[in-house]
Amino acid sequence: MDHVAIADHVGLVEGIVTDVAGIAKILLLPTLLFIFTGGFALRILVYYTVKRNEWFAREFEKRMTKFIEADHPENKLSFYVTVKRLLERTYYELFEVRAIMRRRKIDYVMAPSDRLFLIQAGSAFLVKDSLRQIRFLRYGGERPRFVEISKTVFQNNPCFNRVFGILPAAPVNDMLNVLPSIFIIGGIFGTFMGIMKALPELGGMDLANAEATKLTMGAFLARLSFSMATSIVGIFLSVVMTIVNTFLNPERIFIEVVNRYEYALEFLWQRCENNTVPENIPHFDENRDAIEALAEYSVEQEIAKHHEKVAKLNDTKPLSEAVHQTAQAMMMNRMMASKTTPPPMPPVKKDNGDQAA
Q: Which region among 11-20, 91-100, 115-124, 224-233 has the lowest average model confidence (pLDDT)? A: 11-20
Q: Report the pLDDT value the prediction gives residue 107, as an integer from 0 to 100.
A: 45
Question: 67, exposed or middle or buried, with CB in 10 Å at 0-12, 13-18, 19+?
Answer: middle
Query: How many residues make up the chain in this entry?
Result: 357
| pLDDT tier, 262 (very low <50, low <70, confident <90, very high otherwise) | very high
- Residue 71's SS3 state is coil
CA angle 126, 50, 259 (to 5 degrees): 70
Per-residue pLDDT averaged across 263-290, rounded? Answer: 80
Q: Report the pLDDT value the prediction gives residue 106, as an integer from 0 to 100.
A: 46
- Report the chain's C-alpha Rg in angstroms: 42
Q: How far is CA 17 from the centre of its chain?
A: 50
DSSP 179-205: HHHHHHHHHHHHHHHHHHHHTHHHHT-
Contacts of 290 (CB under 8 A, 6+ apart): 91, 92, 93, 95, 96, 98, 99
Q: Which amino acid belongs to residue 327?
A: A
pLDDT at 26 over 80: no
pTM: 0.66
Q: How far is CA 146 from the centre of its chain?
A: 17
pLDDT tens sequence across 295-326: 554 555 555 554 555 555 555 545 455 555 66
Q: Where is pLDDT greater, at 9 or 155? A: 155
Residue 78 DSSP class: B
pLDDT tens sequence across 45-56: 888 888 888 888
Q: Which region among 24-33, 59-68, 72-81, 192-201 has the lowest average model confidence (pLDDT)? A: 192-201
**Most confident option among 68-77, 192-201, 287-296:** 68-77
Q: Which amino acid belongs to residue 22?
A: G
pLDDT tens sequence across 96-143: 766 555 554 544 445 566 666 778 888 888 888 898 899 888 888 788
Return mean pLDDT, the chain. 75
Q: Which amino acid belongs to residue 347?
A: P
Q: Report the pLDDT value the prediction gives residue 179, as an integer from 0 to 100.
A: 92
State what percent of residues in the chain have pLDDT above 90.
16
pLDDT tens sequence across 150-193: 999 988 888 888 887 788 888 888 999 999 999 999 888 888 87
